[in-house]
């Protein structure tokens, strides 16, 4: 897959007529102290 093909899919994802299994809602992100910071953000999620 080329970058352009990937970009097209990312900007215009295919939609399917099937029910969703789950729904994820991001409530807030946490800012950690400098020494505890990770490369990836941490999220609090309501399940």
Place of tokens 């992100």: 29
**Domains in the chain: boundaries:** 18-47
Q: What is the pLDDT of residue 29?
A: 58
Q: What is the pLDDT of residue 13?
A: 72
pLDDT tens for 3-28 read 888 888 778 777 777 666 655 565 55
Q: What is the pLDDT of residue 42?
A: 62
CB 43 within 8 A of CB 26: yes
Displacement of CA 34 from its chain's centroid (Å) = 23
Number of H helices, E strands in the chain: 1, 2
Bigger pLDDT: 12 or 44? 12
Q: What is the pLDDT of residue 10?
A: 78
């Amino acid at each position: 897959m080329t970058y352009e093909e990937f970009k097209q899919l990312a900007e215009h994802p295919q939609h399917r007529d099937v029910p969703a299994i789950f729904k994820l809602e991001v409530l807030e992100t946490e800012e950690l102290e400098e020494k505890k910071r990770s490369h990836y953000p941490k999220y609090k999620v309501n399940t």
